[in-house]
Amino acid sequence: MIAPAARATRLIFLLSGIGMASWAPMVPYAKARLGLDDANLGLVLLCMGCGATAAMPLAGFLTHRYGNRNVIGISALLLCIALPLLTVASSAVWLGVALVFFGGSLGVVDVAMNAHAVDVEKHAGRPLMSGFHGLFSVGGLVGSAGMAALLRAGAPLGACAVAVSVLLLAIVATQWKHLLAHIDDDATHGHTIFRMPSAAVLLLGFLCLIVFLAEGAMLDWSAVFLRFSRGFDVSTAGIGYAAFSVAMATGRLLGDRVTAVVGPVTIVRIGSLIAAIGFIVATTLPWGYAGLLGFVLVGIGASNIVPVLFSAAGRQPGTSAGIAIATVTSLGYAGMLAGPAAIGFAAHASSLPIALFGIGALLLLVTLSANIARR
């Protein structure tokens, strides 16, 4: 009985990846259509993070009250509605409102699908989480490359968004019935959720924040960077996120075996160093293909850092694994969803290449702190 649930969970992770990544090729269109500079665009992009941040705590209550399956189904339907709205916003304000809705839908899907993945893994009795997250990365490739291909073929932006929404709706309609209906009640969760996490857990969360910031930069700024700093055509600028997603998906699908061979500390140390080099290559070499190479290096390097840090958080002595992982996840998503807005302000004060170069410098902090993964 667990095989259909595992397959459905993989497809929901794929759905989430497609939905999120489909936004990346739309960003240059929104910037040009509404006449936004980097600072204003960063402020608008912050709305996506605000929507997700506000929705995630609510998602925890909803999944406990109504079950993961129901929450996944409703929030995925809302995501299908939100995506086309991003293409018709007539002002920065309305785009911000649409991004709040879009980010909130994604946030609820993300919390519910990860909670469901834990249940599926528990019932299966074997590790499955890396594969689930690998499908999310595959979804990132499908969403960004597919949207870029449709735009390159001359399809209207609104029609492209509707096409993606129809695909997501088909996944929800065919897989919802296979999701697990029951969630085990954790009677202690309500009594422990507000306990202060340890310093080690907070450090792990900070390191995740940096890595998720790098991933968020790829989502929201890679196409803008290639379009306005490296001269790519607006219809092909989304290929940068596609290249990143290919590297990320490949690394995650191979990650369990690689980690078993080299160990978690090496994964964090070498991975963050490779990702830092990727940002440096992309921003310091003036050629467009160097930018693509840099984004590939970022994807390869960052692919397995977060799973290793999550695992380290769950092993912390004297701390509930659930609280530790929840803390690390929340801090990580703060970097991914709110961080790109900070990049916009930094780019406005200096330039986008300098702002992205700064992320490479931050990743070196992860390299220096890699020993935390041994705990």
Cβ within 8 Å of residue 129, ≥6 positions away? 117, 118, 121, 307
Q: Is 362 within 8 Å of 56 (Cβ atoms)?
A: no
Q: Is 364 within 8 Å of 278 (Cβ atoms)?
A: no
The amino acid at 245: S
Which of 53-57, 166-170, 293-297 has the least mean pLDDT? 53-57
Q: What are the backbone angles phi and psi of residue 147, rounded to the nearest 5°?
A: -65, -40
Of the two residues 278 and 317, the one the predictor is more confident about is 278
Q: Is 294 within 8 Å of 303 (Cβ atoms)?
A: no
| Average pLDDT score over residue span 19-45 | 86
Per-residue confidence band for 323, with pLDDT thresholds at 50, 70 and 90: low
Place of tokens 């009795």: 125
Which has the closest alpha carbon to 214: 357, 330, 352, 347? 357
The amino acid at 20: M
351-371 pLDDT, tens digit per residue, is 999 999 999 999 999 999 999
Q: Label each residue of the chain as H, E or C.
A: CHHHHHHHHHHHHHHHHHHHHCCCCHHHHHHHHHCCCHHHHHHHHHHHHHHHHHHHHHHHHHHHHHCHHHHHHHHHHHHHHHHHHCCCCCCHHHHHHHHHHHHHHHHHHHHHHHHHHHHHHHHHCCCCHHHHHHHHHHHHHHHHHHHHHHHHCCCCHHHHHHHHHHHHHHHHHHHHHHCCCCCCCCCCHHHHCCCCCCHHHHHHHHHHHHHHHHHHHHHHHHHHHHHHCCCCCCCCCCHHHHHHHHHHHHHHHHHHHHHHHHCHHHHHHHHHHHHHHHHHHHHHCCCHHHHHHHHHHHHHHHCCHHHHHHHHHHCCCCCCHHHHHHHHHHHHHHHHHHHHHHHHHHHHHCCHHHHHHHHHHHHHHHHHCHHHHHC
pLDDT at 315: 67
CA distance between the termini of the chain: 36
Per-residue confidence band for 184, with pLDDT thresholds at 50, 70 and 90: very low
273-305 pLDDT, tens digit per residue, is 999 999 999 999 988 899 999 999 999 999 989
The amino acid at 156: P
Which has the closest alpha carbon to 194: 52, 54, 327? 327
Residue 84 in tokens? 């086309």
Which of 48-57, 115-124, 302-311 has the least mean pLDDT? 115-124
Place of tokens 């850092």: 305
216-256 pLDDT, tens digit per residue, is 888 888 999 999 998 888 878 888 988 998 898 889 888 87
Return mean pLDDT, the chain: 85
Per-residue confidence band for 117, with pLDDT thresholds at 50, 70 and 90: confident
pLDDT at 191: 44
Per-residue confidence band for 187, with pLDDT thresholds at 50, 70 and 90: very low
pLDDT at 82: 94
**pLDDT above 50: residue 110:** yes
Domains and CATH numbers, the chain: 1-184 (1.20.1250.20), 195-375 (1.20.1250.20)
Q: In whole angstroms, give the CA distance from residue 56 to residue 104.
A: 8
Q: Is 219 within 8 Å of 23 (Cβ atoms)?
A: yes
**pLDDT above 90: residue 164:** yes
Q: Is 334 within 8 Å of 53 (Cβ atoms)?
A: yes
Angle, helices 2-21 vs 92-124, to 10°: value is 160
Highest mean pLDDT among 17-26, 72-81, 117-126, 261-270: 72-81
Q: How far is CA 117 from CA 168, 226, 249, in A?
A: 19, 35, 18
Per-residue confidence band for 78, with pLDDT thresholds at 50, 70 and 90: very high
**pLDDT above 60: residue 88:** yes
Q: Is 239 within 8 Å of 355 (Cβ atoms)?
A: no
Of the two residues 36 and 269, the one the predictor is more confident about is 269
